[in-house]
Structure 1
Amino acid sequence: MTSSLRAAVAFLAVLALVTAGGGLVVDNADLTPEEVNLLFAMREYTLTYNEYADRLPGWVTGPFENERVDLHVESPDGVLVIGITFKDGKIVQFDAKGCPDPIVTVTTDPETVEEVMVSDRPFDAFRAAMQNGTVTIKGETFIGTLRLGLVRFGFWVMDLIGL
């Protein structure tokens, strides 16, 4: 694919994401076709997530409701870094090259991203991926580490009482 064609595809992807996403913004969109495909899939999932975000436990969404998180998707081709900005618990922006000063970094593989997005119970799929080690989360700041500890404590309590 030529660089001008790649730029045109990226521009159309950004236009589609911003228009169809109801204000969802994607920055720094100089992407490969695979990255564009992943962002389109994430956009669709984001619309569903944002619709149901208010139903998620506050101890999960609250610590990150107005923060930036980096998602590192590792594959044999390298690492795709996607910055995700939350506002009032909902996803409002993607940055295809990561966020400045993310509070946490989530690392996983493309298969796990897909599993969470297609699951009928994405919260449980994400939690299972954390338990089996296919998702790792690292606090990037002191506050991020503290907030991540609160979330992990909540998961521990859920495990303890059998939820």
Structure 2
Amino acid sequence: MTPPFRVSLTLLVVALALVPTAGGLVVDNADLTPAEVNLLFAMREYTLTYNEYADRLPGWVTGPFEDEKVNLYVTSPDGVLVIGITFYDRKIVQFDVKGCPDPIVTVTTDSATVEEVMVSDRPFDTFRAAMRNGTTTIEGNNFLGALRSGMVRFGLQVMDILRL
């Protein structure tokens, strides 16, 4: 990709990201590869669906991060894309491709898992499977984050034991 094309693409993405959506979701952007841009916009679109159903998810999953910031590290052949996710009232309200300062937890996964969750008919179960097989991890970045992420991991283990 030529540098002028990359700059144009980045400016287009930034301009589109600054346009507020009906759900109020804001995407703050940085210099991205085309694959990262595609993943980010797919996640942005999926987030609108997630936000519609966030209140139906178990409270022990969404509650610990209700009004917090989380960094998502997505590994791919292009490297690692760090996406800061800001939650408010159990919904995602902002993406920041530079990551969030002082996130409560860090979630690490690969781009294939992110895409699997987004296309799944049962995204929560797909996420659980990724946690089980180790392709997704959640780590607390401070004491409160460790407690809250531990609560989520414990809840997922209980669901697995009870075969829910």
TM-score (norm 2): 0.92
What is the distance in 2 between the residues matched to 1:17 and 1:52?
Answer: 23
How do 1:8-157 residues align onto structure 2 when only pairs under 5 Å count?
A: 8-19=8-19, 21-22=21-22, 23-157=24-158
Offset of residue 3 of structure 1: 3.4
Contact 1:17 1:40 in 2 (8 A): no
- Percent of residue pairs identical: 74
Q: State the AA in 2 paired with 1:151.
A: V
Residue matched to 1:3 = 3
Offset of residue 18 of structure 1: 4.3
Residue matched to 2:161 = 160
Q: State the AA in 2 paired with 1:26.
A: V
Alignment size in residue pairs: 163
TM-score (norm 1): 0.93
Per mean C-alpha deviation after superposition, the further-off stretch among 69-78 and 108-117 is 69-78
Per mean C-alpha deviation after superposition, the further-off stretch among 147-156 and 27-36 is 27-36
Per mean C-alpha deviation after superposition, the further-off stretch among 56-65 and 30-39 is 30-39
What is the distance in 2 between the residues matched to 1:140 and 1:77?
Answer: 25
Contact 1:21 1:47 in 2 (8 A): no
Q: Which runs of 5+ in 1 are unaligned?
A: none
Offset of residue 98 of structure 1: 0.8
Offset of residue 141 of structure 1: 1.0
What is the distance in 2 between the residues matched to 1:159 and 1:18?
Answer: 41
Q: State the AA in 1 paired with 2:5.
A: L
Contact 1:11 1:29 in 2 (8 A): no
Match of 2:19, SS state, is: helix
Summarize the Cα distance change of 1:55–1:18 in structure 2 as closer, same or farther, 3 Å threshold: farther
